[in-house]
Structure 1
């Protein structure tokens, strides 16, 4: 890798021309041919910066809502095609690439093959970092990852986000040799994140994270979808959408986790002196009546009967 880090930063100038025209030129200057349109070009504001080292670049974008399209015509106008790693810093984005559609929130990382068409929708003001990696630097086995989201909490993904921030914020002030090492480390991490093709999609990963949040939050009697949405930086609507494939609603998931927790306590000998009402509260139920109804609905019995059977089974079990 060669070349010195450079930073281009500043608000888009007016100079008698529409601001969005300037923005479009700045974007095209740093990226491959694109069709860029603003949601509201008359009041458009944006900021762009880039750190370039050799053939690799880290481009930071802070901009108003817009629609970005790279269709077959734009692809045909450029040779080859780099890899883009999109790191969402703030706001949201929707990526359409091939047969994939991914909704990005802060912390998500999505891979784009610029030799193939794609569409990016930014519905509100956003911040995003784009890591531009020459195609030859990555194994060709990654070709099928176009539009794929990297597993959000995977070590390689976290390392990618951290390295990206270091290069974007400090690259211009670092010695060239240090910047090169950072970029090389980023490419190595990128290979590690891309090469193992994980069947876990972004949606599946978020579902598992949501179920974990429900498992922890359900201990609070006041736990509601809004709390889970805040914890995961998602909308309440999207929380409900994530749970649809499970066949159970948010409330049903919460109830079932609380019931499982309560039954474990009812059948634990060491908790034999804890009242039914206290177990209901510790499990996350707001009152003992709601708890009793939930137990009867699932087990067709009462909490006291569950505890009694557990005591009987424990007393009659053979002892070593």
Structure 2
């Protein structure tokens, strides 16, 4: 991973340094600061993911222009898929303008002029992907640019959650594994935009990988929600329950089994806290409404009842 930060520079040089960072980490761009002053705050963390470059960038408010002169100076052919993590951005390309807010994402094409307006402090997770293979998957490539794509549900939610999960990868992944994950991300993003039917068929395994990863992340983040169930998950991802179940066919755990197992593990963590709540409160917190049922399945999972589990944790090591 490579990291650039303006904190490494004297205040009067920070913005000029930032301009150089953007051109090196992304493509040739013309940044314009929105707040005048001596210093400027910005940080970029970049790492490869196969042929894709994954970059986390955070900065103060600014405009970013890629005009004809920047394209002529740096004629590269990439697509940027930008996931808005904090703040908002007005993105403009090919006569289309969209407001992209936190949780949404958009794409731009480096071969034509585009404009990004970050009006406040912001943070974006950006993926630079090779242009030709990405656009080849789309039914309407030109219509894809500068659209606000919601990350709240359906394929957009899959894409967003899968993209976020890529931030936590082990840096020692093999080149083949990185390329597989890069392909999966491209597949789910193009599916959100409207991929060609023959492409969807070819990329079925990659889409399943991304969808499965996104669902697992969603489950882990919503375990305390009493309404979490296969039905609510399928509705959020806009898929049938049959499609959801099929994602877990090769897994030792079903969707319901994963929810139950993770809730038991979270409840076990709570039981070991020094200032823990009562066993009943912990069971209720993690979606177990029947204490006797909770005790039975807890013992099946950990080999001890909740009370025995707590007592064992208090015994000094022999």
Scaled by the length of structure 2, the TM-score of the pair is 0.55
Structure 1 runs not aligned, ≥5 long: 1-5, 198-320
Q: Which residue of 1 aligns with 2:189?
A: 190
- Of 106, 119, 124, the residue aligned with 2:102 is 106
Larger gyration radius, structure 1 or structure 2: 1
Q: Deviations over 1:81-111 (max 9, x none)?
A: 2111111001111112222111111111111
SS at match of 1:149: coil
Report the CA distance between 1:170 and its aligned residue: 2.5
Report the CA distance between 1:174 and its aligned residue: 4.0
CA RMSD, 1 decimal: 2.3
Task: Tell me the number of residue pairs that the alignment of Structure 1 and Structure 2 aligns.
Answer: 192
1:46 and 2:45 are equivalent in the alignment: no
Q: Which residue of 1 aligns with 2:84?
A: 88
Distance 2:173 2:87 in 1: 29
Report the CA distance between 1:176 and its aligned residue: 4.1
Native 8 Å contact 2:79 2:129 kept in 1: yes
Structure 2 counterparts to residues 212-223 of structure 1, below 5 A = none
Distance 2:4 2:69 in 1: 30
Native 8 Å contact 1:142 1:195 kept in 2: no
Q: Which residue of 1 aligns with 2:143?
A: 144
Q: Deviations over 1:287-317 (max 9, x none)?
A: xxxxxxxxxxxxxxxxxxxxxxxxxxxxxxx
Scaled by the length of structure 1, the TM-score of the pair is 0.55
**Cα distance 1:183–1:196, how it changes in 2: closer, same or farther (>3 A)?**
closer
Native 8 Å contact 1:19 1:41 kept in 2: no
Distance 2:185 2:2 in 1: 19
Structure 2 runs not aligned, ≥5 long: 197-318
Native 8 Å contact 2:85 2:102 kept in 1: yes
Distance 2:168 2:115 in 1: 27
**Cα distance 1:158–1:192, how it changes in 2: closer, same or farther (>3 A)?**
same
Which deviates more, 38-47 or 54-63?
Answer: 38-47
Report the CA distance between 1:151 and its aligned residue: 4.0
Distance 2:60 2:172 in 1: 28
Which deviates more, 137-146 or 89-98?
Answer: 137-146
